[in-house]
Amino acid sequence: MSRRRWPAALCALVTAAAAIAVATPAQAANPIITSIYTADPAPLVVGNTMYIYAGRDEAPAGGTNFQMREWHVLSSTDAANWTHHGAKANIGTFPWAGADAWASEVEPRNGKYYWYTSVNGNGAGWMNIGVAVGDSPLGPFTDAKGGPLISDSTPNSSGLNIDPTVFVDDDGQAYMYWGGYWGPRAVRLASNMIDTVGSVVTPTGLTNFWEAPWMFKRNGLYYMMYAANDTGGCVTNSNYACQRYATATNPLGPWTHRGVVLGQVSSTTNHAGIVEFNGQWYIVYHNANAPSGGNFRRSVAVDRLYFNADGTIQPVVQTTTGPPANPGGGGGGSGTNLGPSAAASTSYVSSWESLAAINNGGTPANSQDRSNLAYGNWPQQGVQWVEYQWPTAKSINKSSVYWFDDNQGIDVPASCQLQYWNGSAYVPVSLQSACGVAGNTENVSNFTSAISTTRLRLQITSRSGLSTGVLEWKAFQS
Ligand code: FUB
């Protein structure tokens, strides 16, 4: 696959162009958006919404190189009907960069959203990894670091420092994988999410790795999907790429190659992400199938992804229809909500608020909605908790929490943790992604496997100088 460098230029124009923000519905079909060309999609689930962060292809018809200056965001509450929110970051977001808004991924942590990007710096070397940060999935995003997180001068960096994928494990340790030109790399990230910790390592076992890693965890097993371009079961012509995958029992490997997830697509590049949403798994990828599309005019598509009972992944069936609408059940969970049948307790409740709010079955309109009571713990700060207790053990595989924010002393928390009583102690529930702290939405937590317990606890850590509250907390029977 040829890649040509193009001169760093036009930053100011980029900023102006990206300021045109739109929120328009897109059709339920593949590609999911055809009003512009989009590429390198990275899905993220926050509450009952799936977001896709994607680059924009602006090459003219017949163009022979990438022209990419912006990163756009789409969202959906059913994985079929998509809203285009426009460009939420661009090359101008990074004052030290000059061109090439290539693949990116957003990772939430501590109530913030970190957008890791491949971008061409102005200085020596070519591609760098930058990181922007915002307070919501839609930003606004600003440069978090003032310079690249990874560059050609990073010891043991990849031959092409592109395509970051960031993963935060249950113990809070964050990892970043990235790389191109057959050079995968990995490094630990600090809890501030904008510094690396320790040495850059070269992971082993990612057979035929070319670029575009995507990391996730399911049932305690780590998965790494990545683009390969070999002709030994991957593609018919090595100008194209497929998505292979490997698994590991340690986040830094060693990895064991498992096969092809997504075969050759109609564009030469192949870049994808995998996510669980409303109880089903999806792959988000790009192809050249939009009208007048091409290798540098790509478009994002979404399809279902299926696991076998042994944890291996079935090869994806690429469709033109996209997946059927999956709005989830009961707003954030599809099983029976065990909250209303539980006895609730808490470390502290303000005398004018009500603990009964958390399991009285309300559906808040937003985080300020007190119409069905509100639980708050002002003036307490730091760690507080609410708990459900049942007379007999319940099997639970999902939780959702709607945070209270009174725009005064109570705000969404800095972090949260689900814990359960194992008969002798409270222990953390293993979640498929970090406990969500977004306002104005249900923060759904899928457990990596169902737990059986009589007591489920939601531990809440406040933001500095603030207290916390809950409007509704659901615990779903598996
Ligand atoms: O879109 C530019 C580059 O092409 C990405 O960074 C790669 O993953 C490939 O899709």
Give the position, in ligand 1's atom list, of the atom nearest the Cα of 270: 10
Q: Which CATH superfamily is domain 339-477 in?
A: Galactose-binding domain-like (2.60.120.260)
Q: Is 7 left (phi over 0), alpha (psi -120 to 50) or beta?
A: beta
Q: Which of 349, 365, 376 is nearest to 442 (CA)?
A: 365
* Ligand 1 neighbourhood includes 269 CB (under 6 angstroms): yes
CA-closest residue to ligand 1 atom 1: 102
Q: Give me the pLDDT at residue 463, please.
A: 96
Instruction: Single out the catalytic residue among 211, 353, 387, 442.
Output: 211
Structure token pair of residue 284: 């988000």
CATH number of 8-305: 2.115.10.20
Q: Which of 92, 23, 47, 105 is nearest to 328 (CA)?
A: 47
Q: Which of 159, 161, 190, 153 is nearest to 177 (CA)?
A: 161
* Ligand 1 neighbourhood includes 245 CB (under 6 angstroms): no
Q: What is the mean pLDDT of each run of 10 residues along the chain (478 residues)?
A: 37 36 61 98 93 98 97 96 97 96 96 97 88 97 98 97 96 97 98 98 98 96 98 97 98 98 98 93 98 98 95 96 82 68 93 91 85 93 96 89 96 96 94 88 86 95 97 92
Substitution site in 57, 67, 162, 296 for ligand 1 pocket (most atoms within 8 Å of beta carbon): 162
Find out whether 403 and 412 touch, Cβ atoms under 8 Å.
yes
Structure token pair of residue 27: 């059709």
The count of C-alpha atoms lying within 13 angstroms of the C-alpha of 401, restricted to the half-sphere facing its C-beta, is 28
Q: Where in the chain do CATH 2.115.10.20 domains reside? A: 8-305
Q: Which of 446, 352, 455 is nearest to 404 (CA)?
A: 352
Q: Give me the pLDDT at residue 342, please.
A: 87
Give the position, in ligand 1's atom list, of the atom nearest the Cα of 212: 8
Q: Give me the pLDDT at residue 449, please.
A: 82
Structure token pair of residue 313: 């992944």
Q: Which of 232, 233, 227, 307 is nearest to 267 (CA)?
A: 227
Give the position, in ligand 1's atom list, of the atom nearest the Cα of 39: 1
- Number of residues in the chain: 478
Q: Give me the pLDDT at residue 1, please.
A: 45
* DSSP category for residue 19: T
Structure token pair of residue 456: 């489920």
* DSSP category for residue 91: G
Find out whether 318 and 341 touch, Cβ atoms under 8 Å.
no
What pTM was computed for the model? 0.70
Q: Please give the C-alpha separations between residue 364 and each of 409, 439, 458, in angstroms, as whole numbers.
A: 19, 11, 19
Q: Which of 300, 244, 234 is nearest to 267 (CA)?
A: 300
Q: From CA 270, how far away is CA 263, in angstroms rounded?
A: 9
Amino acid at 48: N
CA-closest residue to ligand 1 atom 9: 269
Give the position, in ligand 1's atom list, of the atom nearest the Cα of 100: 2
Q: Is-catalytic flag, 100?
A: no
- DSSP β-bridge partners for residue 70: 90
Give φ, ψ of 260 to 5 degrees. Answer: -100, 130
* Ligand 1 neighbourhood includes 139 CB (under 6 angstroms): no
Cα(261) to centroid(ligand 1), Å: 18
Q: From CA 298, how far away is CA 56, in angstroms rounded?
A: 8
Cα(40) to centroid(ligand 1), Å: 6
Q: Is-catalytic flag, 170?
A: no
Q: Which of 15, 40, 437, 91 is nearest to 271 (CA)?
A: 40
Residues 6+ apart with CB under 8 A from 191: 109, 110, 172, 174
Q: Where in the chain do CATH 2.60.120.260 domains reside? A: 339-477
Q: Which is it for the CA torsion 39, 17, 3, 120, positive or negative?
A: negative
Tokens 């300021």 locate to: 19
Tokens 């007048």 locate to: 292
Substitution site in 64, 163, 226 for ligand 1 pocket (most atoms within 8 Å of beta carbon): 163
Q: Give me the pLDDT at residue 23, please.
A: 54
Work out the number of other CB atoms within 10 angstroms of the CB of residue 6: 14
Q: Give me the pLDDT at residue 24, please.
A: 54
Q: Which of 315, 319, 468, 466 is nearest to 386 (CA)?
A: 468
Give φ, ψ of 340 to 5 degrees. Answer: -60, -25
Q: Give me the pLDDT at residue 8, please.
A: 33
- DSSP β-bridge partners for residue 370: none
